[in-house]
DNA sequence: GAGATATATTTTATGTATAAACTATTTTTG
DNA sequence: CAAAAATAGTTTATACATAAAATATATCTC
C-alpha cells in the first residue's frame, strides 16, 4: 500500500480537500501500522493480521465462523483461510465443523492462543497510546467523532453489483 | 490487513480512547481503500499501489530514484523494485541509470504513463469526494488538522535502531 | 590509495491480500 | 421432491509487502 494520489493543478482548494484528507488518513495509518508491526515482530515474533485475528477470537469466546471473521477483519474469505491455517499450525487456534451445517467451520482460541494474546494486548495498547500521546483527550474524542461520520459517509457509496458496468451509458 | 484489536475488560475509558481511535482510523482507511480499489480495477484495470506510484512520478517530471519512491510511498525498497518492474512491463514507466553514480536508477513516467495517469486522476478524485460527501468543508478541515497533529505525534515515537533490544534491561 | 564504512538497489524467503473459479453443502421454489 | 439458487469455505493465480541478506558502487579515513 502506498500514497493516495492527487493532481493538484488548477483545482479549487475545496475540491482538493477530500483528496488531502484521504492522503492524511492513509499516511497516518501507515505510520501507526509501522510502529505496531515493528513492535509486534520484535517483542512477540508476530504480525498485525495475526494479532487482529486473535483479538477478534478473544472477544468471542464461543468462537467465530470463517465468514464472520472475514467480515470483521474486512478481508476476503481466502485470506482468512490462510491466516487461520498458520495460526492452527502455531497452536494458537483450533477449527471444528458445525454439527448441523457441514459447510460451517467454527474457529476458537486455544488456551495457548488465549495466553499469547493476553500477553500481547497490553503492550499493543501502550504502543498505540504512546503514538497518540500528543493529542489531548478532547482531540481524540473529536477525531473519533469525525471518523464515525466518515464511516457513515463512505458506507453510503453505492456499490453496484458486478456486471453492472453499463458500457453504453450516456 | 485488518482490525486493530482491543482488550476492553475493566480498562478506564480514557485509557481505551487511543485504541478506539486507532480502530476507527484503520477501518475508515480500509473502507475507502475498498471503494478506490474496486473502482480502479473496474474502470482502469489497475490497482492502488500502481496508481499511487504513477501519481508520485506525475508530480516529479524530472523523475525519482528508487529510494525516493520508497520513502514517499512508505514502503520497502524491495516492494518498489517489483512495482516498477510491472509498470515497466506495461510501458507506463521507464528506468535509466544515473551517469555519475551507477548505483542510482532514475524512474520516469513514459508519455503513455502520463496519459494513463491523467485519465485516472480525475476519476479517483471524484470517488474520494463522493465517499466523503457527508462531511462538511469545516469537518474535513478539522479532520485534516487533527490528522496533522496525529502525524506529528506518531513521528515522535522513538524508533530504536535494530539490535538495541537490551535483553538485560532493569 | 587501500580498507572500512556507507549508500542504493536487488534478491530471497515468506506472509498477507485480492479476485475468480471451484467444491460442497444447504435452502428455496416450482 | 428435483432443479435451481444461495451460502460457506477452499483453491488458484497473481500482486503486494516485509525483513534480511546480498551485490554493487561510492565515500570516508588513515
Higher pLDDT, B11 or A132: A132
**Chain B residues inside the 8 Å CB shell of A58:** 5, 7
B13-126: CATH, from 1.20.1090.10, 3.30.565.10, 3.40.640.10, 1.10.10.10:
1.10.10.10
Does the nearest atom of strand C lie within 7 Å of A88's Cβ? no
The answer on pLDDT for B63 being more than 60 is: yes
Place A13 in a pLDDT band, splitting at 50, 70 and 90: low
Q: Which of B52, B58, B86, B88 is nearest to B70 (CA)?
A: B52
- Strand D proximity: list residues 46-65 of B with CB under 7 Å: 47-50
- Strand C proximity: list residues 106-165 of B with CB under 7 Å: none
Place B11 in a pLDDT band, splitting at 50, 70 and 90: low
pLDDT of res. A48: 97
Place A157 in a pLDDT band, splitting at 50, 70 and 90: confident
Nucleotides of chain C in contact with protein CB (under 7 A) are: 7-13, 15-21, 24-27
**Chain B residues inside the 8 Å CB shell of A36:** 4
The answer on pLDDT for A164 being more than 90 is: no
Predicted confidence (pLDDT) per residue in A50-76, tens digit: 999 999 999 999 999 999 999 999 999
**Chain B residues inside the 8 Å CB shell of A9:** none
B157 neighbors A130 (Cβ within 8 angstroms): yes
Place A107 in a pLDDT band, splitting at 50, 70 and 90: very high
d(CA B167, CA A31): 26
Does the nearest atom of strand D lie within 7 Å of B99's Cβ? no
Residue A97 CA: distances (Å) to CA of A50, A55, A109: 22, 21, 15
DSSP B13-56: HHHHHHHHHHHHHHHHHHHHHHHHHHHHHHHHS--HHHHHHHHH
Provide the sign of the torsion angle of the four alpha carbons B36, A4, A127, B169, taken in this order.
Answer: positive
Does the nearest atom of strand C lie within 7 Å of B79's Cβ? no
Q: Strand, helix or coil at A137?
A: helix
Q: B57: number of CA atoms within 13 Å, CB side? A: 32
Are the beta carbons of B159 and A38 separated by less than 8 Å?
A: yes
pLDDT of res. B145: 97
Predicted confidence (pLDDT) per residue in B123-170, tens digit: 999 999 999 999 999 999 999 999 999 999 999 887 755 444 444 443
Chain B residue nearest residue A131, CA to CA: B154
pLDDT mean over B13-21: 87
Find residue B93's DSSP bridge partners. Answer: B109
Question: A67 CA, C27 C1': separation in Å?
Answer: 18
pLDDT mean over B34-59: 97
Structurally, what CATH architecture does the domain formed by A13-129 represent?
Answer: Orthogonal Bundle (1.10)
Amino acid at each position: 500500500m502506498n500514497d493516495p494520489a492527487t493532481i493538484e493543478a488548477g483545482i479549487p482548494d475545496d475540491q482538493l480537500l477530500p483528496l488531502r484528507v484521504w492522503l492524511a488518513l492513509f499516511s497516518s495509518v501507515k505510520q501507526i501500522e509501522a510502529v505496531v508491526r515493528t513492535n509486534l515482530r520484535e517483542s512477540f515474533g508476530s504480525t498485525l493480521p495475526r494479532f487482529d485475528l486473535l483479538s477478534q477470537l478473544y472477544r468471542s469466546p464461543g468462537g467465530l465462523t470463517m465468514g464472520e471473521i472475514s467480515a470483521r477483519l474486512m478481508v476476503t474469505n481466502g485470506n482468512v483461510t490462510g491466516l487461520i491455517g498458520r495460526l492452527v499450525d502455531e497452536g494458537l487456534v483450533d477449527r471444528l465443523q458445525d454439527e448441523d451445517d457441514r459447510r460451517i467451520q467454527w474457529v476458537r482460541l486455544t488456551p495457548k492462543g488465549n495466553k499469547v494474546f493476553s500477553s500481547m494486548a497490553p503492550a499493543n495498547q501502550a504502543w498505540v497510546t504512546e503514538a497518540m500521546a500528543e493529542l489531548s483527550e478532547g482531540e481524540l474524542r473529536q477525531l473519533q467523532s469525525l471518523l464515525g461520520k466518515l464511516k457513515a459517509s463512505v458506507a453510503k457509496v453505492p456499490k453496484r453489483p458486478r456486471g453492472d458496468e453499463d458500457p453504453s451509458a450516456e
